[in-house]
Amino acid sequence: MKLLRHGPSGSEKPGMLCTDGTIRDLSGVVPDIAGEVLSDAGLARLASLDTAGLPVVALGTRLGPCVGGIGKMICIGLNYSDHAAETGAQVPPEPIIFMKATSAIVGPNDPIHIPRGSDKTDWEVELAFVIGKRAKYVPESEALAHVAGYAVANDVSERAFQTERSGQWTKGKSCDSFGPLGPWLVTRDEVADPQALDLWLKVNGQTMQQGTTRTMVYGVAFLVSYLSQFMTLHPGDVISTGTPPGVGMGMKTPRYLKPGDVVELGVEGLGHQRQDVVADA
């Protein structure tokens, strides 16, 4: 299934993308794409629905982040060997973990706001996964059973805030609009192998990133298990798994986003995003 959330920011309703291309409203069935709805039982209930009688969502309706009630968004740094090489960094002996504030999370086609004082806002296409079942001290062999599904994420980053000012990466990752997520949550039964997906990103029509999750250092199953040793993962938590090479910071002459740019990105089988870049007020 491809689950989504539609409507104005802060007032999104649950929905489903049907095989005929229509979006059906699920607000009469579930309160949101969140919590227990993400469990195996909750997803099975949605899969059994006869969607023909559900209301059709009008074309052009805004899509919000594909999951609601996000308790935390955890990101993994330098998780592609080829991306680490382009930035001159070593592949880490354990995953680099940082948090992205949930206030940064927006819909897949909402604009990216360049924050005040920024001149190094960068792009990062990533595979994200969403937890569907509470995970604590989970062995890697059982890890994928805790995943509800997968989505496209853009880990937008302000590199000067991230690396040139003291403190943690979080402040360069958490500006408003720096977490486009969606367009939909693709349930795990539709993703045969999360380590065999192509990713791409374009700026103003020019391909910047073209990669594959095959080159991830730490795969999805490992990350679920690893993170669950340090913290409990709850339904709706989002983990963004790192980016392939081609970020602006890694270019021989670094290139960063500016107002008027258009960013497009996608992950194989998970849909695509489009963001206009604007200056923050």
Mean pLDDT of the chain: 96
Range of the domain at 7: 2-53
36 plus 124 within the same structural domain? no
Whether the CB-CB separation of 34 and 68 falls below 8 Å is answered with yes
Q: List phi, psi (to 5°) of 174.
A: -115, 10
Q: Are residues 93 and 227 in the same domain?
A: yes
Pairing of strands 179-180, 206-212: unpaired
| 256 inside domain | yes
Region of poorest pLDDT, from 77-81, 142-146, 186-190: 77-81
Banded model confidence at residue 129, pLDDT cuts 50, 70, 90? very high
pLDDT in tens, 103-117: 999 999 999 999 999
pLDDT at 85: 74
> Are 126 and 265 spatial neighbours (Cβ–Cβ below 8 Å)?
no
Is residue 86's pLDDT more than 80?
Answer: no
pLDDT exceeds 80 at position 83: no
Spatial contact of 178 and 75, defined as CB atoms under 8 Å apart:
no
Does 179 lie in the same domain as 112?
yes
Q: Is the pLDDT of residue 34 over 90?
A: yes
Structural domain count, the chain: 2
46 and 116 share a domain?
Answer: no
Q: What is the pLDDT of residue 91?
A: 80
Give domain status of residue 66, yes or no: no
204 in any annotated domain: yes
- What does the alpha-carbon distance between residue 185 and residue 124 come to, in Å, rounded to a whole number? 19
**130 and 6 fall within a common domain:** no
Per-residue model confidence (pLDDT) at position 70: 98
Tell whether the model's pLDDT for residue 88 goes beyond 80.
no
pLDDT score of 92: 86
pLDDT at 226: 98
State mean pLDDT over 134-153: 98
> Could you tell me if residue 122 is inside a domain?
yes
For residues 122 and 277, is the Cβ–Cβ distance under 8 A?
no
Percent with pLDDT over 90 in the chain? 92
Residue 60 lies in a domain: no
**Residue 146 covered by a domain:** yes
pTM, full prediction: 0.96
**pLDDT classification of 167: cutoffs 50, 70, 90:** confident
Residues 6 and 101 in one domain: no
CATH code, domain carrying 140: 3.90.850.10
Quick one: 15 and 85 in the same domain? no
Is the model's pLDDT at 165 over the cut of 90? no
185, 147 Cβ separation under 8 angstroms:
no
User: Domain for residue 250, yes or no?
Assistant: yes
Q: Tell me: do 41 and 86 sit in the same domain.
A: no
Domain identity same for 90 and 190: yes
Q: Do 27 and 77 sit in the same domain of this protein? A: no
* 94 shares its domain with 47: no
Whether pLDDT at 89 is above 90: no
Average pLDDT (240-258) is 95
% the chain with pLDDT above 70: 100
Q: 10 Å Cβ neighbour count for 53?
A: 8
Q: What is the pLDDT of residues 220-235, one digit of tens each?
A: 999 999 999 999 999 9
What mean pLDDT do residues 144-172 have? 93
Residue 79: inside a domain: yes
**Which DSSP category does 189 fall into?**
G
Q: Are the beta carbons of 172 and 160 closer than 8 angstroms?
A: yes
Clarify whether residues 41 and 92 are in a common domain.
no
